[in-house]
Chains A and B, each alone.
Chain A
Amino acid sequence: MKNIFQKKGFMVVEVLVAASIITISILAALAVAQKSISVSRQAFHTTQAAFLLEEGAENARIERDNTWDNVASLNSSEQIGIFTRTVIASSVTRDNITKDISSVGTDDPGTKLITVTVSWPEGGLTVSKTLRFYIMNIFS
């Protein structure tokens, strides 16, 4: 009788171990599935942010087409849904001899460096995308 009990008990333990392994592997697959949601959501937010960056750049161009002085004073931050967009214009210096854009030289009032940043919260972290470009006063 003891032998039978031992056998039965052993079988239950076997089944227990098998069930635990299956459960753990399913939980691992669950973790992957949940991660895939956050990754695909982040990919979608990145797509939306790409258009917001483009819009920020085009807005700087619209300001240039209106009045150049408005470009120089660009320094704005706005909230669009979950996204925060900041547009900052900074001055550009040109080399005195080559007239190329460089970190040292004379300030060029006809050229500005525009930095557009779009940031949004993503699962407790803040993700941000930045677009930097030079804009020139071509109309005066």
Chain B
Amino acid sequence: MIKHKKNKIIPDSALGSIQIVPKALSSKHGYAILELLFYIAFFAVLSFVVISAMMTMANSFKETTIQEQLIQSGTIMERISREIRSASDIVSISSNDLLLSTKDANGADKTVEFKFVDPNVQLWEAGANTGNLNSPNIIVTSLAFSQIITAKGKAVRIILTVKSANDALGRMQDFYDTVVPRGSY
């Protein structure tokens, strides 16, 4: 870029070894090269930091989405525990299936059933499937009901294990709850 007559005496290969260049030249050109090297190194470090920061941010966005979906899956447990609490009796119980007798809004008898059909939890009301309790991006890996019989009533222990469909690591999260049906008192 800078045309100077004295430049011609510096061979290309000598650019790195500044000490053989006359002092007057080295103070100008050598400094520019060192400066350039310094800036290239600096920008390399900066761009590495920026790119890794961008990747971390993309991953944390994904992670936040997964956590949000898992928090949403708590509503499955909430719905099951509320139905059990208002139920009058447990009609039938197996590991993956819970049938409760309860009352509808008008006080008439009805049944509510929770079925684990891998990978979903189905809600059956009055013998009809009303849909899945889990959202499509939540995979229910296991749902287990167990009955506790007490001197004065019953209780149901629920263990729910879920994972997010978006999670490449497939991390599973557990929810535990035990509910006493209040309708039987």
Contact = CB atoms under 8 A, between A and B. Distances in A.
Interface residues of B, number: 41
Contacts, number: 103
A25 B67 CA distance: 26
B178 A40 contact: no
Interface in A49-69: 50-52, 54-55, 58-59, 61-62, 65-67
Interface residues of A, number: 39
Interface in B25-76: 28, 32, 35, 39, 42-43, 46, 49-50, 53-54, 56-57, 60-61, 63-64, 67-68, 70-71, 74
Given A9-B35, A37-B67, A47-B71, A65 B151 contact: yes
Nearest to A83: B176
B4 to A, nearest CB: 7
A129 to B, nearest CB: 14
13 contacts: A1-B4, A5-B28, A26-B54, A30-B53, A34-B56, A37-B67, A44-B70, A51-B176, A52-B176, A54-B81, A54-B179, A62-B155, A65-B180
